[in-house]
Amino acid sequence: MHRCLLIVEVQRSIFRKVRDAKGKNLGTLVKLARTCRAFSPSALDVLWEHLDSFIRLIQCLPRDSAKASFVAVTFQQNLQRPMSAEDWKVLFQYSVRVRSVASGRPYLTLDDQGFAAYSKDVIFALCHPPTGGSLIPHLKELSWDITEQAHASLLYQLLTPSVVCLTLHTTIRSPLNAPEVSVLSYIATACPQLKVLDIKSSPYCDYFLNGFRILSTAKLFGVTLDEQALLHVSRLQLTELSMSLPDDFSVDSIRPHLGAPAFGSITSLTVGAGTVTPLTSLLGELEIAPESVTLRVHGYVDVDNTKALFTALVSACSSEVLVKLCLDAPYMGEQDTAGWARGISLDLIEPLFSLPNISSFTLDVPNKITLDDTDMTTIGKYWPYLQTLSTNENIPGMVMPHRK
């Protein structure tokens, strides 16, 4: 064997090619780890580098440490004896190699991943390793949910200074309990190098955001930001921001702080609210230069307010930089009858013609789109770089998208 193949970095590079981005050919890595002493450490490093589920680590526990028993119409694994030093040694042999858990792939809840098969005493034991340190000391990317206290406790154990990307999920609609909220408050302290925070679903409180300092990406659609939380987020050097505003949002108390350089580093902005009014209020105070803006309205959209929203958007954004724009308001309810009758005309989107470099425009609203051929020609005149014009693509039964 050539001596260059004994270099660990070379081995890992080759083995990552074997594994590929989709995690295929894991069987080949297993064979390499089992049959060649020279390749075994590097093959194990790559094999355990990215886990599709935390369950893979739990499955490293010795078979005699847990026993299945029938609990509440299902079988659960319960600890039969305390975990020994040798048990922890085996566990850490693999966990020190892990760099990401359930990251970069379609997410399954922890119960769907198999957590329901393990009793709370198993999870409790994993939350208290004898080293006093983290269970996965070199973890960088983590996708997790905290729908119950046991999950939140294990998340607390997994938060380390090395984490740079964290995605949180929840499937519940009621407010989180105090233990879960306490874990959220700990994130900024435990993960000082965190760059990407992605919160999916709701509800989450917003005050835990105040501890973050170096985030570059914040996807906060699971968090409704009040005025003070918004003010703190505006001071971060974010390049990508997604957030939601409460229906009673007001800029009165923070207006002096919303001008430049607030949100000055943003290149991609997504803002959601129950109505158009909070969005118009916020945009009316900003001075930003994003390349992409998405506005989402979860409730009814009044056609009369749409033009004011677009006018505020043009006022807020640099006309030379913005190239991608989307208004996503697919609410379909009893109030839509009048809106459908009036429709969206060229006059309503006319303020946007001040943005000459638009290449993509998406309009998903519960209204009839009344654009004829002449209007389409006018749009092409003001937006010469337009590549995609989509109207009500995501609303069944309405106008099909136009492509230019």
| pLDDT tens, residue by residue, 169-212 | 876 656 667 777 788 888 989 999 999 999 876 555 666 787 88
Provide the number of structural domains found in the chain: 2
**Rounded-to-integer distance, Cα 107 and Cα 164, Å:** 18
Burial 60-99 (b: 16+ CB within 10 A, else e): ebeeebbeeeeeeeeebbbbeeebeeebbeebbebbebbb
- Structural domain including 18 reads 1-47
Asked if the structure places residue 94 within a domain, the reply is no
Alpha-carbon distance values, 103 to 138, 147, 222, 372 (Å): 15, 18, 18, 45
Asked if the structure places residue 322 within a domain, the reply is yes
**Rounded-to-integer distance, Cα 82 and Cα 92, Å:** 16
Q: Using the 3D structure, point to which of 47, 62, 83 is the last residue of a domain.
A: 47
Q: Is the dihedral of CA 69, 72, 74, 78 positive or negative?
A: negative
Structure token digits, residue 327: 């208004």
pLDDT at 20: 75
Q: What 3-state class would DSSP assign to 139?
A: coil
Asked if the structure places residue 304 within a domain, the reply is yes
Of 176 and 326, the structure prediction assigns the larger pLDDT to 326
**Rounded-to-integer distance, Cα 127 and Cα 384, Å:** 58
Asked if the structure places residue 335 within a domain, the reply is yes
**Rounded-to-integer distance, Cα 245 and Cα 54, Å:** 33
Which CATH number belongs to the domain containing residue 281 in this structure?
Answer: 3.80.10
Of 321 and 60, the structure prediction assigns the larger pLDDT to 321
7 phi, psi to nearest 5 deg:
-75, 125
Q: Is 70 exceeded by the pLDDT of residue 309? A: yes
Among 267, 271, 214, 198, residue whose Cα is nearest residue 239? 267
pTM comes to 0.84
Of 302 and 127, the structure prediction assigns the larger pLDDT to 127
Q: Which residue in the block uniquely carries the two structure tokens 């450490």?
A: 41
Alpha-carbon distance values, 128 to 26, 51, 114, 124 (Å): 30, 21, 21, 7
Asked if the structure places residue 336 within a domain, the reply is yes
Asked if the structure places residue 5 within a domain, the reply is yes
Reported as a pLDDT band with limits 50, 70 and 90, residue 397 is very low
Asked if the structure places residue 363 within a domain, the reply is yes
Please name the residues in contact with 165: beta carbons below 8 A apart, sequence gap of 6 or more: 100, 103, 140, 141, 142, 194, 195, 196, 198
pLDDT in tens, 98-142: 999 988 777 778 888 888 888 888 888 888 888 888 899 999 999
Q: Using the 3D structure, point to which of 47, 66, 82 is the last residue of a domain.
A: 47
Q: Using the 3D structure, point to which of 47, 65, 80 is the last residue of a domain.
A: 47
Alpha-carbon distance values, 353 to 131, 218, 358, 384 (Å): 62, 30, 9, 11
